[in-house]
A and B are shown apart, each in its own frame.
Chain A
Amino acid sequence: MGRLNKYWTLLEDVLTGIFFISGLGLIFYGVILRYVFKTPKPWVEEISMYCVLWGILFGLSIALRNNQHISIDLFYDKLSPTIKRVVDIIANFVGVVFCVCLVYYSAVLVVSTHKTGMVSMTVGIPMWLVYLILPLSGFFFLIRFIERFIKNMRKAGTYDSSSI
């Protein structure tokens, strides 16, 4: 389990890193083109935007892994350990349901966009390809929620409650 988790973590980081870093890099390339070589390329802006967005959406599961999605501890902190566990189970169950819906309905979106053949405004990338990140990131997000859900079912308090 530990080993699998390590590789999965690496996969999340690599996927996020590739898109996030190359996206930011492309924006910088765009700046250089515009101000140094005076030859702005409109495609740079669009491609870099989608790259960074792909990185950010893959990153949803990273932020969940590190307990970085802001939630409210105000009431939670006052609960007894047993109720805390129940709350954790419900919360992660809602997360699982949310992700399942996200994966399903965005897959529907990808298929329907593929049929209509919609393309992006400047470059003409097929939009179904762009939207593909939604089910993909939803899947990675789902895995992390399932992981937490299983941990909750086994025993309480396996991940710490810091949310900052």
Chain B
Amino acid sequence: MTIEAPDAFSGGKTPHFEETARESLADSQLRRNLGKATQTIRRKRAVAVEEMPDWERLREAGRALKSRTLRHLDEYLLRLEESITRAGGQVHWARDGEEANRIIAGIARSHGAGEVVKVKSIATDETKLNEHLEGEGIEAFETDLAELIIQLAGETSSHILVPAIHKNRSEIRELFMQKLGVEDLSDDPPDLAEVARLYLREKFLKAKVGISGANFAVAETGTVCVVESEGNGRMCTTLPPVLVTLMGIEKIIPTWQDYEVFMQLLPRSSTAERMNPYTTFWTGVSEGDGPQEFHLVLLDNGRTEVLADEIGRQTLNCIRCSACLNVCPVYERTGGHAYNSVYPGPIGAILTPQLVGIGKSGSDSLPYASSLCGACYEVCPVKINIPEVLIHLRGKVVRHKQDKGGLKGKLDPENVAMQAMAKTFSERRLYEGAQKAARIGQWPLARSGAIHRLPGRLAGWTDARDLKPIPEQTFREWWRSQNGSGEGA
């Protein structure tokens, strides 16, 4: 049974990042597993990238190609539709997740498929496809090993690339023994993989319909591709007679040639390899080879909103490599679930609130789930300036609260403090007055040379850090004492 935990895309309210992060920070197994995993991939990625003398040029080409595509997305969408149709495929358009789910379920039903096999696709997680199919009496079998694991465990993914990173081998062994009816099983990874292989093989050979996502689709030729490691992508896109692919509209690239850029950027950024084990590029249908019926479902579900925001638009450059997750000091410690979204980490912090909309739910807290260190921007293969978008979205969140939040928004303590401080900084006399007032006002808090507890919302600081008191003399007071009241030396 599939359980898709309510998240930002489920339509309801979600908790704030600060709350869920507090819980996951205390999960020692997660901290250990995730810390080790991200450190490992980080180092490997650095090696893979260092080998490339033209890495920065590839990044720039990637960014430019995405910019070109997004600025003319309508034209490219139409070209893609034409190319795929010419090649014998069918193109469907879905305004939102619900619509996409209905289209896909409809195709499965029309072929009498009670079971479908799926390749990992975050887009289908976004739309909650599995849940919808189940409601229609169609069972969707996840075939990525990690997706299989979390599906059996009734959990949700915690990492874009390694979804079961939070599970260790003995937990996986338990799971397989219980849910797959295996009697005797070691927790040795190869043995675990063998069990999955046999179980899924049967499904692949029987399935009438395969469902996948897509990494890229070329407008010029209609060529779609799936980039993977295990081979289940090849299975799902080759064996079943019918293939349905769900793809976000932002995944289009202009020409066949442009693959030469993205197929260099993606493997080194994601699994830190020169090339991932398997990539399949297919164009519509090929006679006598693979599915004879191919459907591409183009998904909007908020992407046009992201597109409309001139600063936020770059978010759609994303090729889902997860390099940003692996370098993020926040993600490394809180894990993916803390983001309450199928898109976690730095990219999730900017993509989720834009897809969902500002002022709707806890995803408003996501742009603040960052210290703005910029490590993500450094590694993004398509040069998304994530810190810039984070700051931009924080602005949208604040303005929404101020303009649409009514009295509650205006009286928000943070807002009040910020307004006051802005006023203080706007005039020298106010500023200097405030400096003096703070110095005087701190005396109840400062004892024995340190401030041990700040009041109210600022208590978070003194929970773990000592604070030294405000000094007796400000810099400008000293300057004046040296130089008189003038500006020069």
Q: Do A and B come from one complex?
A: no
Question: Footprint of A on B, CB under 8 Å?
Answer: none
Question: Footprint of B on A, CB under 8 Å?
Answer: none
